[in-house]
A and B are shown apart, each in its own frame.
Chain A
């Protein structure tokens, strides 16, 4: 074990029941149970819920929402946020459209350039936040307006509909009739991020700077650079999310994320918050974000099959965000009262 002497005055090593209690109360476990329960109920009561196409569509959307959630998660780590994820996603999508359709650049280099553009926009956000010392909310509020405005200005709000055929083919491709490559890309990104936070210096520095920037700085971490890196990561992931949407629709549309990209804000916060990422920074759950996006989409497809109007689903998802933060608060209080955290 650790080689550090145990003490008798310290709270004793958590007993086995306390450990299992902690697992049972963890967000990931709760979500998994919730997903299983909802899925079983829907599968038994709703016709078509388990059809290959329904599963495929659900998985594809889970892939997109996970990527959007990861993008926000990467900056929530710092205790900040990025309102411009939607705008960055659309900018990357339109850049891809312009390169692949107008400029005739092959698909893969276009993808790489579009993702890099996202990273660049993220860098601008991060640089402005660190240099000005102003909260990321106001900086990204401004940059969302600027990025989106420049995009519409340059594209004249016109969509790229004539993308190379392989783009939409990729979006429609199915492994085993049910699994979308979009989902696989997101799962791969989850693995990459999990490795980053768990096994690399940069990832740990991100968590340390997010939990207590002052202490991290005084421990010799260049907090400013680390925060910029978080914003770059957010930009890269937002750009990838934008490209996933392009693959799904087969076109790059300026309105794909709503006015100023605001439509992405709900999925962007819903998945990480459901998954137990702390809004004040310093703690993330990559798996939780994936599960959060999964739960949202299982619920949404079920409700749609039940003929609940999509407008009402918006209200339901909003309520779910509230429920998620309430549950998290209650869980914290419970664990604290038991002295488990």
Chain B
């Protein structure tokens, strides 16, 4: 009898089939890796298991009996502990109260027994070797400490099934080792642990079984990891051997730099940033979550205050104070990593989303604007991007992730920007569109656009970028010319990141 079993689960959203007959079997006393590229369906699967989504077909079983949770509260009550990817702490509350937030008392009018809470919470903090008083407000913790509190919260429920979505994203190697020790102990005590991570080294270090998803389907279902090597897993994840597609060698652009940052510092915490991007060049900006990459993009766009150094656009020193200025004066555009919150206006049409950057330019007297004029400008771009939509009036929320991403690029192409900053361009989109996005970036660069590519996806970075700058802790730690040799490049990049840690 397995602790948690997923059988033939399918789930569709408008325009996309997120999961198609997916299965997974988690055994007690085992650490089970759930792998897949961005958009493969991992998070959808976790949301179905925990009751946030309801499956269209298939079933979830715990200890042999079918379960169907209507929401997270029910799944928690049903013995499912989850460490979510996003932070879920009430920052004004104490560490202890956060850990035991759902167990403050039996009824609404129960008195909260704080001494008992501090005692109980302290137990879990000790276990995690987190040297923090449980009475400390969460606001005073570092990001890594918050992450550990989050893990403590899930552990304290003593669930027999524990799902962890990227629990190590903001932990140092030392903290990760502590976590792994605890996970191994829990495993030996018979807990079934699900482990989602992008870091394959960690997966091989701790997991004994693996389920890989690709395009919403099983690439493998609960296979034994014994005897597997990295290459096997990667092949399952991306559907081909890990090989960098042989792109035609690109001539190194020699035009004068379009954007230069010299000893740049921002009020967000960036220090000593030196970067140069030339027209036609693809500069990669690699770093882990929280390294300050998207923040640098936003700082360049004028959303943060420059506190030091120099910014030059086309050779002239500038101070950009708003996105409007970045776009209209300097021709800089930004494709956000968070399509739904920052990239698109989901409730508006394809036409309005792709034309938003050129309204001002197309407006006639008194600011009058006809849809037909916008359409005439936008249609060729959308056609070139092979956008699939029933009509331009379609609400963009109804398009698939890949098509949405095309629109969030199209608006900048239509605006004719000279520098396009692209942040995690392939999160949550299918393999085909992903390859398409990579071609598009190359096409843009070939046409003379400077591209600043931000991604945490190492193969993508090595496939697409010309040069790779490595960022950590809001500083640039190194810059390498990309020779498209995966092993050599990834070693070099990780060397820059870990070199800092060792110091």
Direct contact between A and B judged by beta carbons closer than 8 A: yes
What residues make up the interface of A, taking CB atoms closer than 8 Å to B? 1-7, 9-14, 199-202, 204-205, 207-208, 211-212, 214-222, 282-283, 339, 341
B241 touches A (CB below 8 Å): no
28 A-B pairs (CB sep. < 8 Å): A2-B391, A6-B388, A7-B389, A9-B15, A9-B388, A10-B388, A13-B391, A200-B363, A200-B366, A200-B367, A201-B360, A204-B369, A207-B348, A207-B352, A208-B352, A212-B341, A212-B347, A214-B341, A218-B342, A218-B343, A219-B327, A219-B356, A219-B411, A220-B326, A220-B328, A221-B323, A221-B324, A283-B347
A220 B369 Cβ-Cβ under 8 A: no
Residue in contact with A214 in the complex, picked from B342, B352, B415, CB distance below 8 Å: B342
Label chain A's interface by main secondary structure. loop
- A52 and B411 alpha carbons, distance in the complex (Å): 55
How many B residues, CB 8 Å from partner? 48
For A341, the closest partner residue in chain B by CB is B395
- A205 and B482 alpha carbons, distance in the complex (Å): 41
The interface residues of chain A lying within 8 Å CB-to-CB of B375 are: 2
Among B357, B367, B387, the most chain A Cβ lie within 10 Å of the Cβ of B367
CB-contacts of B1-57 with A (<8 A): 14-15
B336 A218 Cβ-Cβ under 8 A: yes
Among B303, B328, B344, B368, the most chain A Cβ lie within 10 Å of the Cβ of B368
For B412, the closest partner residue in chain A by CB is A219
B341 A201 Cβ-Cβ under 8 A: no
For A219, the closest partner residue in chain B by CB is B356
B227 touches A (CB below 8 Å): no
Residue in contact with A4 in the complex, picked from B14, B356, B359, B389, CB distance below 8 Å: B389
- A3 and B342 alpha carbons, distance in the complex (Å): 28
- A199 and B365 alpha carbons, distance in the complex (Å): 11
- A14 and B388 alpha carbons, distance in the complex (Å): 15
B345 touches A (CB below 8 Å): yes
Evaluate whether A3 and B379 lie within 8 angstroms (CB atoms) in the complex, with A12-B390, A211-B348, A339-B14 already known. yes
B247 touches A (CB below 8 Å): no
B80 touches A (CB below 8 Å): no
What residues make up the interface of B, taking CB atoms closer than 8 Å to A? 14-15, 301, 303, 322-324, 326-328, 334, 336, 341-348, 352, 356-357, 359-360, 363, 366-370, 375, 379, 382-383, 386-392, 395, 398-400, 411, 415
Among A7, A9, A202, A219, the most chain B Cβ lie within 10 Å of the Cβ of A219
The interface residues of chain A lying within 8 Å CB-to-CB of B301 are: 218
A221 B15 Cβ-Cβ under 8 A: no
The interface residues of chain A lying within 8 Å CB-to-CB of B334 are: 218
Residue in contact with A282 in the complex, picked from B344, B345, B379, B400, CB distance below 8 Å: B345
B367 A202 Cβ-Cβ under 8 A: yes
A10 B367 Cβ-Cβ under 8 A: no
The interface residues of chain B lying within 8 Å CB-to-CB of A339 are: 14, 398
Residue in contact with B323 in the complex, picked from A5, A12, A200, A217, CB distance below 8 Å: A217
The interface residues of chain B lying within 8 Å CB-to-CB of A221 are: 323-324, 356
CB B290 to nearest CB in A, in angstroms, measures 20
- A3 and B399 alpha carbons, distance in the complex (Å): 17
A208 B356 Cβ-Cβ under 8 A: yes
The 3 closest A-B pairs by CB, nearest first: A7-B388, A220-B327, A201-B363
The interface residues of chain A lying within 8 Å CB-to-CB of B328 are: 220
- A220 and B356 alpha carbons, distance in the complex (Å): 8
- A332 and B493 alpha carbons, distance in the complex (Å): 49
A201 B367 Cβ-Cβ under 8 A: yes
CB B298 to nearest CB in A, in angstroms, measures 8
B369 A10 Cβ-Cβ under 8 A: no
- A6 and B347 alpha carbons, distance in the complex (Å): 21
The interface residues of chain A lying within 8 Å CB-to-CB of B395 are: 341
CB A220 to nearest CB in B, in angstroms, measures 4
A219 B389 Cβ-Cβ under 8 A: no
Evaluate whether A282 and B348 lie within 8 angstroms (CB atoms) in the complex, with A201-B363, A201-B369, A220-B323 already known. yes
Given A10-B389, A211-B347, A215-B341; 8 other pairs, CB 8 A cutoff: A4-B391, A4-B392, A6-B390, A9-B388, A13-B391, A201-B359, A208-B352, A212-B345
Residue in contact with A218 in the complex, picked from B323, B360, B366, B415, CB distance below 8 Å: B323
B357 A219 Cβ-Cβ under 8 A: yes
Residue in contact with A220 in the complex, picked from B324, B342, B379, CB distance below 8 Å: B324
B388 A11 Cβ-Cβ under 8 A: no
The interface residues of chain A lying within 8 Å CB-to-CB of B388 are: 5-7, 9-10
B357 A5 Cβ-Cβ under 8 A: no
B345 A215 Cβ-Cβ under 8 A: yes
For A212, the closest partner residue in chain B by CB is B345
A2 B360 Cβ-Cβ under 8 A: no
- A4 and B384 alpha carbons, distance in the complex (Å): 9
- A202 and B334 alpha carbons, distance in the complex (Å): 22
CB B158 to nearest CB in A, in angstroms, measures 38
A13 B390 Cβ-Cβ under 8 A: yes
- A207 and B355 alpha carbons, distance in the complex (Å): 14
For A282, the closest partner residue in chain B by CB is B347
